[in-house]
Amino acid sequence: MGSQTDLRLSINIDLISLPPADFIKSVTDNAAGLQSVGISETAQALGGLGLQIFQILEKIVPAIDTIADAHPVLKMTWTVLSSAYKAIKSQMEQDAAVCDLAGSLKEILGVASMVPDLACISDTDDVIAEIRRAALEGALLIAEYVGTTSLTARTAKYQLSDMLNRITQCQKRYIDLGGKFDRRVQLETQAKVKETQVAVQETYARVQETHSMVQKTDATLMKTDERVEWIQDVQMEENIDKWMDAPDTSPNFNAARKKHQADTGSWFLDGHEFTRWKEDPDFLLWLHGGPGSGKTILCASAIKNIIGFCDSISSSGYAYFFFDGTSAQAARWEHEELVRSIVMQLSRRCDGIPAALAEMYAKCDKGRLQPPIEMLEATLLRIIDSFDNVYIMVDSLDECSKRTDLLHWIQSVVSSGSGKIHMMVTSRPEEDISRCLRPLSNLEEIRISGHLMETDIGRFIDARLAKSDASKWKTAQKDMIRDVLISDADGMFRWVGLQADRLIMCASTQELKKQLKSLPRDLNETYSRILSESPDPGNLKRILQWLAYSRRAMSIEEIAEVAAIDFGDNDSGLPMYEADRRFADPDHVLSLCYGLVSEVEVEVYDNARVSERGIKLAHFSVKEYLISEHILSGAAANFRTDEQLSHSIIAQTSLAYLLRFDKSDSLSKDTASLFPLARYAAEHWVAHFHSAGSDHGNAAALQQLYLNFFEPSPTYAMYNSLRVHNADNRGVEEFASPLYYACQSGCAAAVENLINKCADVNAKGGSYHTPLIVASDKGYLEIVKLLLAHGADIDTAGGTWEEPALVIASEKGHLAIAELLLEQGADINIPGRVMGQSALYMASVYGRLPIVQLLLERGADLSIPMKDGETALIAASRCSKPAIVQLLLDHGADVSTHSENEGTALGVAAADGHLEVVQLLLAHGADANAESRYGRSALGEASSNGHVTIAKLLRNHGAVEVEGHHSRAMSIDASGEGSGIAVVEEEEEEEEEEEEE
C-alpha cells in the first residue's frame, strides 16, 4: 500500500451560508473527487463516508431551500451542514451512527419542508423552534464528530457509548418532534380541507350561476336568431299560403259548435270507442247515420275535445276538414283540397315552415308550378312523421261529390301502420263508403241510432220549448209535443227541429193536436210541405238556386237583390231589373226561406276582408231534395232544378242586374255599395255562363243578354261593370275594345256579332294587348278560329312578357290552339320580347308534353336560349320534367349548354335533387364535373344540399370535388347547407360498410 495522505480540513462554521445551488455543485464536484482518491484504505473509507453523507445532504437541500426563506433561523443549520460537508472530504473514518443521525435530520427537515406556508399555520411556532434547535444540535454533533482528524483521535476523544447515547437522544427528539409536528399540521390540514370544500362549493355555485347566465344569454341569442329566421321566413310563409290555396273550413266548425246543445253528445265522447281511438293510433273511427242525425255536431264536439287535448302536448298535431255540399264553392272541394288543408293546418302546429313543405315549394319552382297530388300526399306523410301523434277528423264524406280517390287515400293512410295517425270520419252509410271502409281490420264503427240519441233529443226539445216563442204553451201542451217528437224522431235532430218550429207556431191547442197527428214522415216530406206552402214560390226558387250554386258565400243583402229581377213579366221577354221588386227589408229573405236556410257570418272581399251577415242552405239534404227525382212526385215539383239550369239563372240574373247601369258612370266602386249584387255579378257572371252550357231552355235568353252586354254602341253597362271588377286589373282610362272583353269572356256568339259589325280584330288594348292573345291564353278555340279567319295578326306579341299567341298557348297547354296557330303560319321559334322565351321553352317549363312533342315534330329549334342562356333542356331539368328531358335528348338537345344563372342542365338538376333527370343526363354523356349555378360544381351543390345518392352517382361517373366548392359547402351552416358534405361522406361510408358486410 502506498504512503498515507494526511488530509486535514478545518471546519469553518461561517454564518454566511453558501447558496444551495452552489453548494450542491460543490458537493457533486467533491464527491467526484473523493471517488478518484485511491491512495489508501483510509482515503477509500473517507470517500465512502463522503458519498453516503453527500447522498443524504443532497436530499436535504430541497427541504432547506423550501423553508430557509420562511424561517431565517434555520439558515444557520444550512451553514453548519455546508461547513460540515466541506470537512468530510478530509476525514478518514466512517461512522454508521453519524450517517444514521444525518438521515434522521433529513427526515425531520423533510417533514417540515413538505408543508407549504409553514409560518402561516397557527400554533406551530414552538414546534418550529424546537425543530430548529434539534436540527442545529444534530448538525453540530455531526460537525464535531467529523472535525476530529482521525479515527483514532475520534475514538480517543469520544467514547463510543457516549456518542451513541447523544445520537440516540437526538434521534428520539426528532421522532417526538415529528409526531408533534404531524398532529399540528393534521389539524391545520383538516381545517384547510374544510375551507377548501367551502371554497369549492362557493366556486361551484359561482360557476353554476355563470353557466345559468350563459344559458340565459344563449337562449336570448337563440330567440333573437329565431326571430331573425321568422322575419326572414314571413314572406315565404305568405307565398306558400297563397300557393297552397288551402280551403278554410273553420267557419263550418264554428257554426256546428254554435248549434251544439249543452249536455249532449257525452255518450259519444265518453264511450269506449272514442276513448280507444283517442289513445291508440292506427285506428279508423267511422261515425255514420242518416241525414239530420247530428253527425256534424258530434264531429265538431270531437274536434273541440282533441284541440284541448293537443294544445297541452306540443308533439301532437291535429287537423280537420268539413265537406259541405250546401254551396257550390264547397261542393268543388275534393280529395286534393282536403290534403292541402291538412298540410297547412299541421304546418301551423310546427315551429316554422316544415322542411318537407319548403322542399315541395322549392321543387315546384318556388310556387310557379302546382304540385301533383302524389307530391302533396308524400309531403303530408313527412309532416305527420314529425309528430308523435296526429289526429285527422273529416266530416261528411258523403258530401264530397268525387270521393273515389279520397276513399282510397283513407284506406292507404289507416293501413300504413305509422303508429301515429288517429283518423275519424263521419258520413251517411253510403254503399261506396261502406264497401271501402268495412274491410279494414282496424275500423271502429259507430252507428247513430234512435236509442243512442234519445236522451240528447229530449234535451234538445226541452231547450227549444224553453225559448220565448214557446212561452204561450202550458206544461201539458209542451209535454204533448215532447212525447210525440221523441217517439217519431228516430235520431234525426233536424227533423225534430223543423217540426218543433212549426208546432210552436200553432195558434191553438186544437191546431196543435191536428199537426201532431199529421207530422211528415221524413225530411223530404217536410221540405215538400215548406216549399208547396210558400207565398212567393218564384223568388223562393231562384234564391234557393243561387244558394245552391253560387261561387262564394252570399250576404243577406246580396241574395235579397235577386228578387229585383223580373223573369218574363215584361215586354222584352228577357229578365230585367225592376226596382219596385226589391224587398223593403233584406231580412225578409230569412222568413221567405224559413226552415231551408241558416243565417251565418260570411267574409266578403273588396279592398279588405269584411264580415257580414250571410245566408246559406240549412242542410245538405235541402240541396239534395231540390235536384232529386223524388221532388217530382210531390207538391213541390215546380221547385225541381239542376246544376246547369241554376247556373243559367244566376248568369241571367247577374247580366240583367248589370244591364240596368246603362248610363255613363252610373256604377263605380264608390257607388257599388248601393247595389249589393253588382260586385258579385260583375266578377262571376262569366263563370256561371260557362257552367250553364247550352242544353237548357234558357240558353237563348242568356245568349241575348250577353249580346246586349257587349253591344258596341253604347257599351255603358259593360264599362260600368269593368269599373267594379276588371279581370285585367287596369285603370278606367285603359279600357280595351268590347271585342277584347268578349274574347276574354269566351262568348263566341258575341265575338262573331262584333266582328260582323266591323270590330277591329287587331285593336290594341288590355293587359294581353290583342283579342287573339287573350283568347289563346284562356283557351277559347272557336274564338281563335274566328279571329284568324278575319285577319288577326298571328305573331303580334302581348301580355306581361310580350309573348306571341303561340308561346302563350304552349305555356297554358292549349294543344288544339297551338296546332291551329302552327297550321296558320305562326313562327315556331319566335321568342318573347322581355325574357326571350320560346314556345318550346315555355312548354318544357310547365310540363306540357304533348305540345313539346308537337313543336319538336314541327321543327322547333332546341338551341334557342332565353336571354340568360337557359335552354328548354336546362329549364326542364330545373323543373324536374324527366319525360320532357328524355324527349329533348332524343331530339338532340345539347347536354353541355351553359346558362348564365343556372349553369348546365346536369348542374341544376343535381343541385335541386332531381335524381331521375341526373341519371338521364349522365346516360346521354353529360360531364359529371359540369357547373351548377353561378359556377359551382354539380357535385359540390349536390353534396351541400344533402343529395346523397346524386353525389355518389356523380362520383361514380368521375366527378371530383373542387377545393373551393367543397369549402363553400362546409362553411355556410347559417344557410342550412353547411353540413352537407359531411352528411354525404358519412352516409356513403355507411353504405360502403354495409356492402362490405
Q: What is the 3-state secondary structure (H, E, C) of 224-290?
A: HHHHHHHHHHHHHHHHHHHHHCCCCCHHHHHHHHHHCCCCCCHHHHCCHHHHHHHHCCCEEEEEECC
Higher pLDDT, 377 or 38: 377
Q: Is the pLDDT of residue 57 over 80?
A: no
Residue range 850-869: mean pLDDT, rounded = 92
Query: What pLDDT score does 965 carry?
Result: 46
The pLDDT value given to residue 164: 58
Is the pLDDT at 95 greater than 90? The verdict is: no
Q: What is the pLDDT of residues 298-323, one digit of tens each?
A: 999 999 999 999 988 888 999 999 99
Q: What pLDDT, on the 0 to 100 scale, is given for residue 481?
A: 96
Q: How does residue 151 score in pLDDT terms, banded at 50, 70 and 90?
A: very low
Choose among 685, 638, 641: nearest CA to 659: 685
In this predicted structure, what is the pLDDT of residue 313?
Answer: 85
Total H helices, total E strands in the chain:
46, 12
Q: What angle do CA 577, 707, 779 make, to 5 degrees?
A: 120
User: At residue 251, what are phi and psi to the nearest 5 degrees?
Assistant: -60, -35
Higher pLDDT, 158 or 687: 687
- Give which of 768, 764, 786 is closest to 777, Cα–Cα: 768
Amino acid (1-letter code) at residue 526: T
Indicate whether 524 pLDDT > 50.
yes
Residue 39 in this model has a pLDDT that exceeds 60:
no
Q: What is the pLDDT of residue 828?
A: 96
Binned at pLDDT 50, 70 and 90, residue 145 comes out as low
Instruction: State yes or no: pLDDT of 890 exceeds 80.
Output: yes
- Return the pLDDT at 94: 45
pLDDT category at 84 given cuts 50, 70, 90 is low
Residue 33 — very low, low, confident or very high, per pLDDT cuts 50/70/90?
very low
Using CB atoms within 10 Å of the CB of residue 362, give its burial: 0 to 12 exposed, 13 to 18 middle, 19+ buried: middle
369: pLDDT strictly greater than 60: yes
Tell me what the mean pLDDT of segment 896-907 comes to: 87
Highest mean pLDDT among 605-619, 707-721, 741-755, 798-812: 741-755
**Average pLDDT of the chain, as a whole number:** 81
State the Cα–Cα distance between residues 77 and 137, nearest whole angstrom: 9
What pLDDT digit, counting tens, does each position of 813-850 carry? 999 999 999 999 999 999 887 888 899 999 999 999 99
Can you tell me the mean pLDDT for 203-215? Answer: 62
Q: Which pLDDT score, from 0 to 100, does residue 463 have?
A: 94
Q: Which helix (H) or strand (E) holds 318?
A: strand 316-322
pLDDT of residue 585: 96
Structure confidence at residue 448 (pLDDT):
92
pLDDT for 995:
44
Phi and psi (nearest 5°) for 636?
-105, 25
Q: Are 509 and 477 in contact (CB under 8 A)?
A: yes
User: What pLDDT sits at residue 56?
Assistant: 58
Indicate if the pLDDT at residue 496 is higher than 90. Answer: yes
pLDDT of residue 115: 53
Distance of alpha carbon 4 from alpha carbon 438, whole angstroms: 124
Which of 99-108, 228-237, 728-737 is the least confident region?
228-237
Q: What is the pLDDT of residues 584-618, one digit of tens each?
A: 999 999 999 999 999 988 876 655 566 789 999 99
pLDDT at 484 over 90: yes
Single-letter residue type at 955? R
Whether the pLDDT of residue 572 is over 70: the answer is yes
What is the model's pLDDT at position 98? 65
Complete edge-to-edge strand list for the sheet that includes strand 609-617: 554-555, 609-617, 597-605
Give the best-scoring range by mean pLDDT among 640-654, 894-908, 953-967. Answer: 640-654
Instruction: Report which of 817, 875, 808 is spatially closest to residue 841, judged by C-alpha positions.
Output: 875
Q: At what angle do helices 160-244 and 125-147 cross, to 10 degrees?
A: 130
User: Is the pLDDT score of 184 beyond 70?
Assistant: no
The cell numbers describing 764, all together, are 290594341
Share above pLDDT 90 across residues of the chain, in percent, rounded to a whole number: 54
- Please answer whether residues 228 and 346 qualify as being in contact, where contact means their C-beta atoms are separated by less than 8 angstroms: no
Of 343, 127, 338, the closest CA to residue 249 belongs to: 338
Residue 460 has pLDDT above 90, yes or no: yes
Whether the pLDDT of residue 889 is over 80: the answer is: yes
pLDDT, average across residues 87-115: 56
Max mean pLDDT among 1-15, 87-101, 645-659 falls in 645-659
What are the φ/ψ torsions at residue 851 (nearest 5 degrees)? -75, -35
Query: Length of the chain in residues, anyone?
Result: 997
Phi and psi at 601, nearest 5°, equal -95, 130
Rounded Cα gap, residues 122 and 360, in angstroms = 78
pLDDT confidence of residue 175: 67
Chain centre to alpha carbon of residue 718: 46
Please name every residue paired with 566 in a beta bridge, in sequence order, or none if there are none.
Answer: 576
pLDDT at 951: 93
**pLDDT above 90: residue 190:** no
Q: What is the pLDDT of residue 132?
A: 63
Is the Cβ–Cβ distance between 931 and 907 less than 8 Å? yes
Q: What pLDDT is attached to residue 236?
A: 86
With a cut of 60, say whether residue 34 has pLDDT above it. no
Average pLDDT over every residue of 773-789: 97
Dist. CA 703–CA 693, nearest whole Å: 11
